[in-house]
Amino acid sequence: MLTNRRHQRSRRAKKAVLLGAGLFVGLQILLLVVVEGWQPLYADPEYGYRLERLRVLRQKNPQRPSLVILGSSRIGNGFDSDYSNSQCLADTSTRSPTVANLSLTGGTAVWQYLVLQRLIRQGLKPDSVIVEILPGSLLSDKQYFTSEFHFPTHRLRWGDTAALATIVPNQAPRHRWEWLQHNALFPWHAHRFSLLGLYAPAWQVESISPSSKPEFWRQTLSRTGWIAFPVAVPTPEQRRDAEAVAKQAYAPVMSTLQVSTEAETTYREIFRCCRDHRIRIAAVLLMPESDVFRSWYSESGQQHVAKFTEAISKEFDIPVVDARTWIAADQFWDGHHLLVSGARAFTTRVHTRLIQPRTTESVAVPVDVLATKPSLVPLR
Amino acid sequence: MLFCSQEFLLFFLIVFGLYWAISHTRFRVYLLLAASFYFYSSWNQWLALIIVGSTIMDFLIAHALERSQRAGIRKALLLLSVSFNLGILAYFKYLNFFLDALFSSLRLMGLETSIPSLEIILPIGISFYTFEAISYTADIYLRRIKAEKSLANFMLFILFFPHLVAGPIVRARDFLPQVSLHKRWSWMRMQFGAELFLLGLIKKLAIADRMAIIADPIFATPGAYGTVSVWLGVLAYSLQIYCDFSGYSDMAIGIAHMFGFKLGVNFRMPYLARNISEFWHRWHISLSSWLRDYIFISLGGSRGTRWLTYRNLMITMALGGLWHGASWPFVFWGVLHAVLLIGHRILRDLCERSIWLVRGLESYAGNGLRMAATFLVVSLGWVLFRAPSMASALEVYRRMFMAVEGAVVPVSVIAFATTLGCIALAHLFGESGLWKRYSQRLPGEALSLGYAGMALAAALLAPASGKAFIYFQF
């Protein structure tokens, strides 16, 4: 009797442990499949919501070509894609494109390449792109190639690690290992902030950066992916503080600015990828900066940037637009992020000079034509 | 290597797999010993040599102690072992504190001196394993146990990785007999171990680390926060320290069970204590019983006059405070608890004179009130424990008891209230025995759902990865 009861309890314990472990592992696999197959939002909320907006735009306007903006928060705030898109849609001819802003916060060359690759993989290859060059990143992007730098692998999907391996081959095994360790083993833990933000916001940790909260992106991104700067007119104190923060972050890099081989390679890879996939590069942009911000450049740094942009313009035959001096200082928050009024002025100019004229041309430019087109002189 | 890290999971799976694959008891001991050494060296390999050295030393002293029949030599050997262990502890943990106190006193006497601060790395778990070693030699001296013949067995007693860095403080008489026993695989034991581990995991990741988000900023800059936030921070810290430390203990006990070892219970729902004396019977039981057996009783315990008992309590608790950390707030925390224990003894004697008062205190309402009062004083004591300095602790107290405006700590009311509710419910279920009664009737499928749910909740609610356990610093 006693042995029988003991045997029953042992069987029950075995079932509880094995089923529990199996269930836990099964749930991990399920989420991994969901993230990899359908829901990039869980891994990278900013990209996920931008992608969602791009999809809607394309579904609504299937006959129109699409123009995608790649870059950092500078172009994310500075380029009012809502305005540009509405101007294009107002044109009844289906030649004018839909315009979507797929810039990412901290979106330097490496991230721009990843976004481009993600779009191609997901069958949302744009017809044309505008690529931002963030001068500071020409030096700082070097960090991605070092073993000390920890890439935020929780934002990646397996396909991204392959794309990353193309541009950062020396760190590829480490990136893949970290991805496996964090994303594949415990996806519920790796994507917990997104999951909590989406399904249990009361349990979201308040102190995490807003960029890790899906709610933040859902609310701040416009229907085309633009982020209108939340402050309309900053007080002098706010601007002074914001500039001090920007100075601390950027001045050391800009005073010693050089073009690292790594950043150069990454940009070339972006342009090569566009050429291979017949994506027209509408322009390469150097975003507006205030006088104060520009004063942090060393003279040699300025020369390095000029030399680099000139070289890529010639090599890939693409228009490089140096817009750094376009906007007055009072239109910035911190010297390099545009306020709404500044963004409107900048977008109008970019739209008129770079996007609108294209509506009369065929947007998908064949490789050979792209290669023989004369490069455009920076607009001043 | 934290218990709640992927690195540990891999380590555990390898050791666990090998352990049960080997059938030979001796080889299992060697395996656990090697694993424990690797576990400790993952923090610092040089400090791992210190623990090995001190363990060998204790082993040899214990043998000499057992062989010797002369009282003088035995006493000298015990003294040697205690001084050796306390010497290591004093050097690594207290040297800077003592130097600081010495030079401050010299300055008070008018002598101009500068304090030399030595860069000493504190070996993790030193307070725990030195106490284990002392209790071993003391028990041999008192002829309570025999000296262990096998060095490997003795080293495993000290180095066994589940309890090595933050307890529970195990006693040789409880642990050593288990080492030589041949262990058989038992699903019931695995289930119990896994259940305890998951309970600890959820306490640590989903409660303690989340409470730290509320408590940390308040204790870092108490002057910035208003009264309500400071009270909230203190409450959050009370929950944090309980869930952090008892979570670690649960995980340690659970892991040990999965290897077939039984470690003593370290926490028994301490916030349900109805007085401070009961609190110490429920909180960090392995330390409080150690302090009772080797300090309080050695000093005479409560056998002498009332004043002698109070003195013994004061010395024991002050040393207990100092054991936690080399700083004055810890000493004051110990003294505060001594005062509370003495106060409780006086109050108990007074109350026992009135039958009506005893009945009132023993009623539901009386018990509830006593629990609340005990929780309140313990929480007030935690301020001394957590504050980085006395000035900071005083600022917290000032802001708690004087209505002050200030910053508000961001807290999700739903999450906070739900967490409190869950803790209260778990305590009620645990204390009343309901959980034990009903969990035995639950089918395996239902239990498995619960286990998967617990693991998932811990993974989802963990606010950050790799936050160390509070008691690692002790």
Q: What is the pLDDT of residues B285-294, one digit of tens each?
A: 999 999 999 9
Contact assessment for residue B400 and residue B238, using Cβ atoms and an 8 Å cutoff = no
Each residue of A310-363: pLDDT tens digit?
998 888 888 899 999 999 999 999 999 999 999 999 999 999 888 876 554 433
What is the per-residue pLDDT for A379? Answer: 36
Give the whole-angstrom CA distance, residue A287 versus residue A307. Answer: 17
B420 touches chain A (CB under 8 A): no
Clarify whether residues B135 and B208 are in a common domain.
no
Q: Look at residue B94 in the predicted model and tell me its pLDDT.
A: 78
Closest CB to A19: pick one of B6, B414, B444.
Answer: B444
The domain spans of chain A are 39-372
A66-70: strand order across its sheet: A98-101, A66-70, A128-132, A280-286, A320-322
pLDDT digits (tens, 9 = 90+) for B414-465: 888 999 999 999 988 888 888 888 888 888 899 999 999 999 999 999 887 6
Range A39-372: architecture per CATH:
3-Layer(aba) Sandwich (3.40)
Please tell me if residue B459 touches chain A, with a CB cutoff of 8 Å. Answer: yes
A178 to chain B: closest CA residue: B6
State whether B156 and B192 are in the same domain.
no
Q: How far is residue B431's CA from residue B429's CA, in Å, rounded to a whole number? A: 6
Binning pLDDT at 50, 70 and 90, where does residue A106 land?
Answer: confident
Which of B124, B149, B182 terminates a domain? The answer is B182
**Tens-place pLDDT, residues A58-89:** 999 988 999 999 999 999 999 999 999 998 88
Say if B432 falls within a structural domain.
Answer: yes
The band of B104, judged by pLDDT with boundaries at 50, 70 and 90, is confident
Please, what is the Cα angle at B302 between B301 and B306, to 5 degrees?
130
Q: Which residues contact B378 (CB under 8 A, 6 or more apart)?
A: B238, B270, B271, B273, B276, B279
Best residue of B448, B454, B461 to probe chain A, by most A CBs closer than 10 Å: B448
The answer to the question of residue B17 being in a domain is: no
Q: Which of A222-236, B68-82, B105-119, B387-401 shows the lowest per-residue confidence on average (mean pLDDT)?
A: B105-119
Is there a domain that residue B19 lies in? no
Cβ within 8 Å, pair A205-B411: no
> Is A112 a residue whose pLDDT tops 90?
yes
Q: Which residues pair with B225 in a beta bridge?
A: B407
Closest CA to A238 of A344, A136, A339: A339
Residue B190 has its nearest CB partner, among A13, A189, A208, at A13
Q: Report the complex ipTM.
A: 0.83
Dihedral, A364, A369, A374, A376 alpha carbons, nearest 10 = 10
Q: Does B411 touch chain A (CB under 8 A)?
A: yes
What per-residue confidence (pLDDT) applies to A360? 45
Instruction: Give the CB-side neighbour count of residue B82, counting CA atoms within 13 A.
Output: 13
pLDDT for B156-185, tens place per residue? 999 999 998 877 999 999 999 999 898 999
Do B104 and B233 have their domain in common? no
More confident residue, A368 or A168: A168
Residues B199 and B161 grouped into a single domain: no
Token couple for B28: 């299992």
Task: With a cut of 60, say whether residue A132 has pLDDT above it.
Answer: yes
Q: Do B330 and B372 reside in the same domain of the chain? A: yes
Same domain flag for B167 and B237: no
> Hey, of A5, A24, A180, A182, which one would you mutate to test binding to chain B, going by the most B CBs within 10 A of its CB?
A24
Nearest-Cα residue of chain B relative to residue A181: B6
Kindly list the residues of chain A whose beta carbon comes within 8 Å of any beta carbon in chain B: 9-24, 27, 181, 185-186, 188-189, 192, 195-196, 202-208
| Co-location of B203 and B160 in the same domain | no
pLDDT at A144: 74
CB atoms within 10 A of CB A74: 21
Instruction: Provide the pLDDT confidence category of residue B474 given band limits of 50, 70 and 90.
Output: low
pLDDT at B378 over 90: yes
Distance from CA of A36 to the nearest CA of B (A): 19
pLDDT, one tens digit per residue, over A32-66 is 999 988 888 898 999 999 999 999 999 999 889 99
* Residue A230 confidence (pLDDT) above 50: yes
Closest CA to B162 of B15, B332, B343: B15
Residue B471 in any domain: the answer is no
The reply to whether B109 and B157 lie within a common domain is: yes
Given a cut of 60, is residue B57 above it in pLDDT? yes
Residue positions of B annotated with a catalytic role: 324
Do B198 and B152 share a structural domain? no
Among the candidates B182, B198, B227, a domain finishes at: B182
Question: Which residues of chain A make contact with B411, given a CB cutoff of 8 A?
Answer: 206
Burial class (CB in 10 A: 0-12, 13-18, 19+), B105: exposed
pLDDT at residue A155 tops 90: no
In chain A, the residue whose alpha carbon lies closest to the alpha carbon of B409 is A206
CA dihedral B166, B170, B172, B176 (to 10 degrees): -90
Task: Give pLDDT tens digits for B322-359.
Answer: 888 878 888 899 999 999 999 999 988 888 888 888 88
Residue B7: inside a domain? no
Please list every residue in chain B whose beta carbon sits closer than 8 Å to the beta carbon of residue A212. none
Whether residue A369 is predicted with pLDDT greater than 60 in this model: the reply is no
Query: Percentage of chain A with pLDDT > 90?
Result: 46
Q: A201-230 b/e with 16+ CB inside 10 Å = b?
A: eebbbeeeeeebbbebbeebbeebbbbbbe
Do B172 and B319 lie in one domain? The reply is no
- What's residue B48's pLDDT? 84
The residue range of the domain holding B28 is 24-182
Tell whether B6 lies on the interface with A, counting CB pairs under 8 A: yes
pLDDT at B201: 93
Number of domains in chain B: 2
pLDDT in tens, B189-231: 999 999 999 999 999 999 999 999 899 999 999 888 999 999 9
User: Which of B158, B182, B206 finishes a domain?
Assistant: B182
Radius of gyration of chain A (CA): 23
Regarding whether B220 and B167 lie in a shared domain, the answer is: no
Q: Is the pLDDT of residue A100 over 70?
A: yes
**For residue A72, what pLDDT is reported?**
93
Q: What is the pLDDT of residues B294-310, one digit of tens each?
A: 999 988 888 888 899 99
Whether B397 has its CB under 8 Å from any CB of chain A: the answer is no
Give the pLDDT confidence score for residue B125 in this predicted structure. 83
Note whether B64 and B159 are within 8 A (CB). no
Residue A374 has pLDDT above 60, yes or no: no
At residue A220 the predicted structure's pLDDT band, cuts being 50, 70 and 90, is very high
Query: Are B172 and B302 within one domain?
Result: no
Q: How far is C-alpha B238 from the chain's CA centre?
A: 14
